[in-house]
Amino acid sequence: MTKTILVTGGAGFLGSHLCDRLLGQGYAVIAMDNLITGSTDNIAHLIGRDDFRFIHHDVTEYIFLAEPLYGVVHFASPASPQDYLDYPIHTLKVGSLGTHNSLGLAKARGARFLLASTSEVYGDPLVHPQPESYWGNVNPVGPRGVYDEAKRFAEAMTMAYHRVHGVDTKIARIFNTFGPRMRLDDGRAIPNFMTQALSGQPITVFGDGSQTRSFCYVADLIDGIQRLLESDRHQPVNLGNPEEWTVTRMAETIRELIGDAPPIEYRDLPVDDPKVRQPDIRTAREHLRWAPGTAIDEGLRHTLDDFRRRFQAAPHTRTRA
């Protein structure tokens, strides 16, 4: 009998790639999304398959599915800073009510549950690189607090359902991930730089560009997610690429890949923007036998090919300053 997995946020960037992966591994998939930041374009190639179904639904409302479920993977949430600044209350609701509803469904169906958490639970970290044991440095009342605290609450609720109700839960702390299907106007560094360069706009770097990030290609991240889903690990696991890049280095690399790109412009750093971000992935290596295998330059080329194709179809797309 085919095992069915519900993916909330299944029409988003990461969610749609996870749907592809699970279908390729023989699972049946139900993708659920309210399409605030997701798009049916990401799953259009799956529509019509007998083992795939899309449900337009907001997971902050009660979720009812009658069929047996093997797993519930909770990916629903605005994820880029621009999105959760545009939708602060909904971001808090999907992290709280959405997580509660998704966990309730997993409990009712005896399904395993995986929460897509984030490196943002570490805030502007005072420990570098960040291990799962680090509790973070988060400003709960700053503009980024709506996302940081929503995910921290979601982790707490996930562990409560595991301890109190015995739900088989997993928590993935996802670090910066990039790849095809990111929105052209996503607002995060890589899509911002690519869309600006392709449209002839100056490439905007916030701060002096010395702040660091760790960029993981989407195929590697999704492999880690599936390994975690099928593992017996209940405590949080960092998933990301430990190779550390400055933001300026990434901007310059993308300029070189595109060729004849506009110059870099520096702007003021947003409030509470983390200065460093790098995952300690020893837990993933030990428990999941996982580490990213795609070189950043290779991932950027795949991503740029996808961006060029979509940009040519929508040349007037602009990034959000």
Question: For 12-68, what is each residue's pLDDT tens digit?
Answer: 999 999 999 999 999 999 999 999 999 999 999 999 999 999 999 999 999 999 999
% of the chain residues with pLDDT over 70: 98
Average pLDDT over residues 249-268: 91
Higher pLDDT: 258 or 228? It is: 228
> What's the pLDDT band for 316 if we cut at 50, 70, 90?
low
Instruction: Respond yes or no: is residue 147 known to be catalytic.
Output: yes
pLDDT for position 138 = 95
Q: In this structure, how many other beta carbons lie within 10 angstroms of the beta carbon of residue 313?
A: 9
pLDDT for position 174 = 98
> What's the pLDDT band for 84 if we cut at 50, 70, 90?
very high
What lies within 8 Å, CB to CB, of 201 at 6+ separation is 262, 318, 319
Q: Is the separation of the CB atoms in 199 and 191 below 8 Å?
A: no
Average pLDDT over residues 285-309: 97
pLDDT greater than 50 at residue 321:
no
pLDDT greater than 90 at residue 286:
yes
Cα(220)–Cα(44) distance, rounded to whole angstroms?
Answer: 22
List the single range of 176-180, 230-234, 257-261 with lowest mean pLDDT: 257-261
Q: In this structure, how many other beta carbons lie within 10 angstroms of the beta carbon of residue 17?
A: 21
List the single range of 45-49, 79-83, 275-279, 316-320 with lowest mean pLDDT: 316-320
pLDDT for position 317 = 58
pLDDT for position 9 = 98
Which residue in the list 70, 87, 122, 147 is annotated as catalytic? 147
pLDDT greater than 70 at residue 259:
yes
Q: Which domains does the chain have, with CATH numbers?
A: 4-177+216-239 (3.40.50.720), 183-213+243-275+295-313 (3.90.25.10)
pLDDT greater than 70 at residue 273:
yes
pTM above 0.85, yes or no: yes
Cα(210)–Cα(14) distance, rounded to whole angstroms?
Answer: 27
pLDDT for position 1 = 79
pLDDT for position 319 = 56
pLDDT greater than 50 at residue 130:
yes
